[in-house]
Structure 1
Amino acid sequence: MEPVVILSRLEQEYLLRAIEAGVRVASLHQLFLWTQGQLQALLPHAVLACMQFAPGGALLGIDCLHGTVLAPAALAALGGRRDGLALRIARHCMGSGRLPALFDGGDREEEGAQVLEGFRAELGALGFDSVLAHGTGQTAAGASVFVLFGLPMRPSARHAYFLELLVPHLHLALARLPPHGGSAAAPARSLSARETEIVGWLREGKSNDEMGQILGISGLTVKNHLQRIYRALGVSNRAHALARCMELRLLEG
């Protein structure tokens, strides 16, 4: 049986204020102010990595929010879109089905405390001796994962519970942000029925060859369709195309 976590009156007040402020987040700037204000009061941390994933697992966006200056090399190592530490921690936790997960540099036996043990050396090299991660898990619209680095206290199941209560609000705030590098303006042209179909399979994480087999066309033809889709949407890759279509509600219905 999981232990019952009873919030103090002050913790309840911090939680309520954090939730109320999160409802109004609609830009990256507002997200930064929220996480550096009300969220810090409940869960103080040095860096918060926010990640969005498509239903097929592709990374849609990652933002590392921090109130202190980070060296460019450290920020790249932490928040890189290809193999950054935050991304690898998120994928490890999702792949193993272990969320929440925490790490404090010790040898604790607490539930979730050993999930991130394999990242000990990298965390130490970046100057972090504590991590707390949680996320939504896979949903029909994808997933989001939030990783807090550099907590001043030893993260415990109590802190994981605080983050669990806030994850839905963090997720919704992240979903309201404009896509990375995109805008809410209409595309250069409407997508054709075939292009919309391809974007639908793109959302399912299918490769070009897999989409070609499903649609009865070659993988090269699928690639040509994708290039035209990118131009129409004003994006440069599959993840941004999917995020743009979600923003424009082209995949609804």
Structure 2
Amino acid sequence: MNRAGTGYKLWKHIAKALQTHSAAIKAALERYNKCALAMQPPHRMLQWEQVIEYAFLANFDLLQDTHEDISKHPWAHPTVCFALDTYFKMCQAKEEIECLNIKICQVITYMCNKERFLRTCEEKINSVHPTLAHQVSQCRKLHSQFNASHLKHLHDIALLLGFSGTIYPGESALKGPGESNSEPTIIIPTCLLAPIQPPPSQIMHRNTLDSIQDLEEEEEAECEAEEASHALQDVLEVSFDLE
């Protein structure tokens, strides 16, 4: 309550909550002590100073005051409790090993089937649409870039003492369309098979370039003709001078 940043409203709220809970705990403590005195023989009573020091329900050793002291049973001994916990953990570990053996086989099977599926798609598409086949190749490389690392980890697991699984691929039961264990059927949209037409702006730009090129060629031809005419005129003038 005295921490920095605690406003007045929050302080009042905390104080009210503590007061309410304290009243409830005191009422429960009074009922418990009355019941403890009514028991034959009377049981140990609890004091308020003891209760406020308890942080968890397990701190209330109520069962020790019953007609049967369970702390004397063998299973209540800490060593026996530890042994029981260890036993059940080992039982759970065996179940977990069986599940992991299945998961390991599933991972290897999926990696192999996915690689084969994408390679088959790439080969079938390459003869029809090489550009699309290149994209499939990029997708395959993206999916398989960590396969070598995964296989190395699985191989290291297989070398562990007591390994009971297998790292050989199995056969997937999922063979529907698009599944990694299915035979790919290539369906290329018509829009991808049609030749790509340049946009009108590019066509107009191309036509403009052609027109400019034609004009330049015409100007060059006129210049060449004019130069030839001047050269012929010079030759004729020289001939007349000689005469």
More strand by share: 1
More helix by share: 2
Task: Give the TM-score category using the shorter length.
Answer: under 0.3
TM-score, structure 2 normalization: 0.17
Greater relative contact order structure (CA < 8 Å, 6+ sep): 1
TM-score, structure 1 normalization: 0.17
